[in-house]
Structure 1
Amino acid sequence: MVNFDVFRAYDVRGVYPTDIDEPAYYRIAQGYVYTFRPKVVVVGADARLSSPSLKNALISGLLDAGVDVVDIGNITTDMLYFATGAYGYSGGIIVSASHNPGQYNGIKMVREGVTAISSDTGLLDIRDALMAQKDMSVSSAKKGSLRTKEVIGDYVKHVLGFVHRASIKKLTFVGNANFGFVGKSVTPIAKELNLNLIPLNFEPDGSFPKGPPDPMLAGNRSETERLVRESKADFGAAWDADADRVMFFDETGAFVSGVYMTALLATIMLNKHGTHNKILYDPRVVWPVEKAVSRIGGEAIMSKSGHAFMKDRLRSEDALFAGELSAHYFFRDNFYADNGVIPLLLLLEHLSETEMKLSEVMRPFVADHYMTGELNYRVADMKTIIGHVKERFGPSGKEDFTDGYSVESSTWRFNIRPSNTEPYLRLNVEARSPEALEEMRVALERIIEG
């Protein structure tokens, strides 16, 4: 039985085996075939304990539908995107629930050319096909073939192509894999570039013994922060479990927000590839990115947040780079997809060439900008609360509906939106002064919390 609530805005996600199990994966595989008619699909899985059996069920559904399957094994999500694009497969599927706790699992899917599949571009068509039991009509006189393929070597060559290797100095950095498979690429990269990698939680463990594998959670950062300070590292990097997001810490152990990293990476990419290019950013916190891109002469374009939506917009705009507050970073030359290792390499190259500390590099992007960070609230009626926020603040500034609801004045700006992956109302506030920031946070929380 399939719990159809597992179909979210840009992936499939639920608790195993309550919401999602092996028979559901078999059916979803056949629904994917019914909807998109692929010939060869590449498949992999993250480190979760339930992933091997769920991947087997997924593969069985594809094979029984007559689709050839290439199993690339234990991977990160960005390795799936690479394999789909680099080898020309007609689709790609990874068994993963990203940063969710260990009891969850899910699916991320792409079409040929790493074209994203979201609620706007086919994900709900798969759901509707299953609801109507149209997947039961999927059959093939000939079963598909199954083969395995190792992609790490080619993947490492691909990501290294984004930097000038010879310019990278022997820097020291802490890498926190959060018990996922990112070490399969980062370890050989560190060796090849003669870097001093201090590995943390590099042994894959799908039980996630230290809690949810999400470095965006403040409580999950302390271990990385402490090790950066104790080891006197140049910086730290932490990935979520499927490693399509990467977050950074400066040499003091201080966390660097995704909006500031987006501003830095946008600057690096525009300097490398020309200031005529477009840069995409999400609506949650915007001022540092807009300022950085404007300063260098690029074109900044706001886009709906979410990795599948951002991929689509990056492709349609043929933009150079996109970044999100959530630390997803997307590259045109990476099949318009997000990647968690390319930002690491770009940062290594930039610190080597400038001979600056990361805190010094970030100073211009952080200056005179204040923000709350993402605040999360469990509420009973998100729509009603957002309605009350509109009534109160709509007349006070410029409204925007790109993703959720945003209002901007000369001294403050906020974005409020329901999460696409978790049962939360998310709020981000930015301001020109600490006083304005606190005033807006308090005023908005009075409405949210009643």
Structure 2
Amino acid sequence: MASQIEELMRRGTNRARDERLAVARYRKRARRGVSVLVHDIEPQSKRMRDADRDRFKTAVSEQMATFSRAPFNGPVALKIDLATTSRTAPQAHTIAKNLLDLLGKRRAGVPGMRRHLLYKNDAQIQALSVSCRHGEDYPMIHVAGRPLSALLDDMELAAEAIRVDEMENYGDVYRWDQEEEAMEDLRNLIRDERGQRERLGDDFYDAYFKMLRWSAQRALLGCSGIDIPVLGWMYGRPEGSTPILPPDQWALLIGRSKLRLQLGDLPITPGSSGAFKRRVEEEIAAFKQRWDWVISPLVIAVALQVVVRPSAATPAAVLHDLDNIVRDYLLPRIIPSFGTVTDHRWTIDFDELRRRDPVLADRWGPNPTPPPGTKQGVTRYEAWRLPPVEGEPGFVSVALVADMDGRGDTFDRIDECSRKWADAQSSTSGKRQRW
């Protein structure tokens, strides 16, 4: 009995030590990131004035110098948050293209001793998130970069925090069950429209239909994205562990999902881009045929999640930059095909709201929506490049993801969950030490 107690105490001591080391590594990783926040420059596309280009580059250069940071040499995870004030603001992906170029080489006249700013080449970006809010009172550009390895390490901690949270809380499960029921109720309402209108009356039928369509879209597109634990497994994390399925099997399952656009491998030979664009259009058409009864028209705001795995045979020289994939192949076809919008405020019928609840409508102000020219787009997009798997084909998998609950992007959720995990371990460790 004594030996068993000693063994349990030894294991507890080792576990506490491992947790303290993991927290220390987490705190150290946080110092490897770079964050640049600029409030007085309007986000612009390639049309940005040279003076604003230099001011932005100077802000990045000064931030790097303040923390004695050299440009990233290896794979980078980059997050860009934007706020525009212009009534004719460009779309987020054209702004991002400009900023990604500006974060490379230092322009002549920009203070600094180094040739490059944040990285040497934007091809280093292996995980990218771009968010934009139009019609704001003040402009803002926020760029946060870190080594990809640091983000993946934090992803492991976030997955563990999610596992613990799911064991303790069941409210979300109940909520999603309710919304999945809404899909079946919507289907039944459509199938028996005539009978339901006779039974409910036109006004109640229309109101009930709108409510069910909103819930059904939230349910369908709320589970189309790849969550943090599965994304970690697709990257082979945690390292040295035995996952439920190996990374290539997870990719196979994701590739069979009917909730995503499955586009095959990227074009890598001259003249093959046209065929890939046609494949995008065909997959969009097939997706709409499958789900049009739910998503047409979209009444919720959506983001775009892109997961890319290149073929192992793809030469490094012809790898597509993540931003180019989204900008050149996906958004020009997805936005008009699905009628996606840049802000959830575009999904609110304010005329109807003023009739039903003028007090609530007044709280939104006289001009509740962003400038009309900024309507078309997505609330954000994020793209992840997985490592190739020898002998397995490459693929591009795309999801329209429900985005109206303010949870932020995957980067935000990784940071929130990993911070929650580290704080919980620190709290537990402190209690042990006091004991």
Q: Could you tell me the TM-score, scaled by structure 1's length?
A: 0.25
Give the strand-richer structure, 1 or 2. Answer: 1
Give the helix-richer structure, 1 or 2. Answer: 2
> Larger radius of gyration, structure 1 or 2?
2
